[in-house]
Amino acid sequence: MNGDRGNKVMGQETVRLLKTQDMGYLRTVGNRVRKEVEELEERVKAMGGGKGRKVIWVKGVEEQRGRLGEGGDVDMDEDEEGEVDLSERKLKKIQEKEAEKLGNKLVIARERLKAITDAEEALNLQRAKMAKSPSVGGVNKHGVKYKVRERKR
């Protein structure tokens, strides 16, 4: 066997149809990944890992508790007597680890979105080059730019 598997060559119309289906698939997957990225960004923002966190500068613990109230978001590890509250520290460490995991997931999802977007653009260019009346240009393997034009009549 000299590299021939016995497969028939597909026609250009068939290939164009298959590429249209591929575009639909990439668009669907891209939308799903885009939605996942948006959800992860919202979760990271909600955890305080992104922009949108408001910082209020105060002079002391009393002023901070007066501004935020008893149930407020206090960033201090000490309670009234100055003793370290271990449960708050553990909670902060757990939240930091979760925020880091979310950040890693977000980076991976953004990379996946970029790969899908790049594949969609490449496929769109291929389809445009295969069109009945080509209207795009490009660069050949020698680095020479070209533009496809209609023939003179």
Q: Which of 30-44, 57-71, 86-100, 114-128 has the lowest mean pLDDT?
A: 57-71
Please give the average per-residue pLDDT across 118-140, as a whole number.
77
Do 27 and 119 contact (CB within 8 A), yes or no? no
Do 141 and 37 contact (CB within 8 A), yes or no? no
Residue 99 has pLDDT above 50, yes or no: yes
Please give the average per-residue pLDDT across 134-152, as a whole number.
70
Is the pLDDT higher at 38 or at 150?
38
Query: What separation in angstroms does the CA of 8 have from each of 5, 13, 114?
Result: 9, 14, 34
Do 120 and 30 contact (CB within 8 A), yes or no? yes
pLDDT in tens, 53-88: 566 677 777 777 776 655 455 454 444 544 456 677
Do 129 and 46 contact (CB within 8 A), yes or no? no
Is the pLDDT higher at 54 or at 1?
54
State the pLDDT at residue 55: 64
Residue 47 has pLDDT above 90, yes or no: no
Locate the domains of the chain by residue range: 12-69+86-129
pTM, whole model, 2 decimals? Answer: 0.56
State the pLDDT at residue 85: 62
Please give the average per-residue pLDDT across 98-116, as a whole number.
92
State the pLDDT at residue 46: 81
